[in-house]
Chains A and B, each alone.
Chain A
Amino acid sequence: MAEKLPEQMSDYQHVPPEIVNESVGHADAKEELLDECESIWRQMEECQSKLTLLGTETLPESDAKLSLLMMRVKALTAEYNQWQKRSPEIISTNPDVLVALGKEELQKVKNGLEMVLSTVQSKNKKLREDLKREQQWHEEQQQIVDVLNGIEEEMKNQVVQFSEKRAFQELKNKMLKLRTYKEELLNALGEFLEEHFPLPEEDGSAKKKKKNSSEEPAVELVTLHEILEILINKLMSTPHEPYLTISDSFWPPYIELLLRYGIALRHPEDPNRIRLEAFHQ
């Protein structure tokens, strides 16, 4: 029962008020509508009286959800059946009512369309403004692009020449600097070696040794400086074969010194050959 009410309610609420109020002639139209309203109202009162007979029912504390769901099932089924049974209502065939209803409907449509029109118009106006603004913006951007392109073109020629020359010059300078630095290093090393590792001939003790071993010096001894130079050159020029065979012109204590301090390394198989430690790797 309860479910029926809303639908009837809505029918009743939607009788166009205009017609009910219309006082121009059409007495029978009005009469008819009033009758219809009366009958709906009577129906409602009937429903209401049935509803009041239903007792109140509150949900049980424990299983509220279950009983509520049961109720919903019942109510939904009832509502479903109601919709199934229901046939579309036919509005009164009285021409006056139809005219009034049609007028109202048309008026509604007209109002709606007017609203749409004004909305569209204002939207159009806005779009036009937007377009104008966008166009202007685009133009400005185009101008900027043009100017920038011109500048770029101009710069290109200048920059290419300029930068090549300069880079070359810079490299040259760097090389020069490096060379002088190398020179400096070599000189310093040479001086150091000359000062601290002289040839043994100039020394008295060396002469004594020579006398002991042999009267005539077999070969001209080379300086430590020269030994190192040979070792370095050997390592740099033929890195795959850096070994140097020890000849008599090398004073043995210097060889010993080089080996002991890890400056030179012996060949793992041939004790007569040495190489420079690969410091540069």
Chain B
Amino acid sequence: MQPLANVTPLKPAARAGAIEVKNVGQVFKTRSQDVIALEDVSLEIKPGRFVVLVGPSGCGKSTLLMMMAGLRQQTAGTITISGAPILQPDPDRVGVVFQEASLFPWLTAEDNVEFPLALRGVPKAERRAKAQDALKLVGLDGFGRRHPHELSGGMKQRVSIARGLVQDPPVLLMDEPFAALDEQTRMTMGDELLRIWAATGKTVVFVTHSLTEAVYLADEVIVMSARPGRIVDHLQVQLPRPRTYEMLSGDAFGSLRDRIWRHIRKSA
């Protein structure tokens, strides 16, 4: 990453994990027309927050996440993470967790977790130690030697999270990480993720289709509309932590979920 002269170095430690999205747009050019996927999206995320992006299919929430990860270039605007613009993938600042099946099937769980470290030539012993720590953090101590096909869907996603955390980036981006899991596993994984988040203090940006999951996990929910993708609401979830299963049936929970649903129904 290039240091930019015009970025004021605002106490870098304090800004680690802060995300700033300014007037970001994304236009896909097709042969017949230009499709506006995202239009003038701006948002600010403070370090350590758990932020969930929701919206109807095709609202560009995954696109926005991919741009934060540096995996796709926006056509307008800027995205800064930890005070510097993101122009390409930077595993020091951002870890990414994808949907199921992004583990390398020919590697064991621990080799998968070590993968990003191996890419930069970290010595074997140090790699192994860090991978063990990350696997322990996600509750997979002792499963390091298994291959992905020997693990359940939930365990695979735990390995993915460990891989995203192994380089200790201040930001963790998650693109529908539990979408392929069954309802029960999904609930458990939500609680697990909140535990890991609390233990590490990362900034988490989490994309999901599930409104219940959104309200259950989030400090803040950002609701987007369908094409062109815009932010239509940014709501704070004031429910106390730790979140419990009983809250799901409470009034506060229900009214938040209804508010999100009304936005989505309107724009879909």
Q: Do the two chains belong together in a single complex?
A: no
Interface, chain A (partner B; CB < 8 A): none
Interface, chain B (partner A; CB < 8 A): none
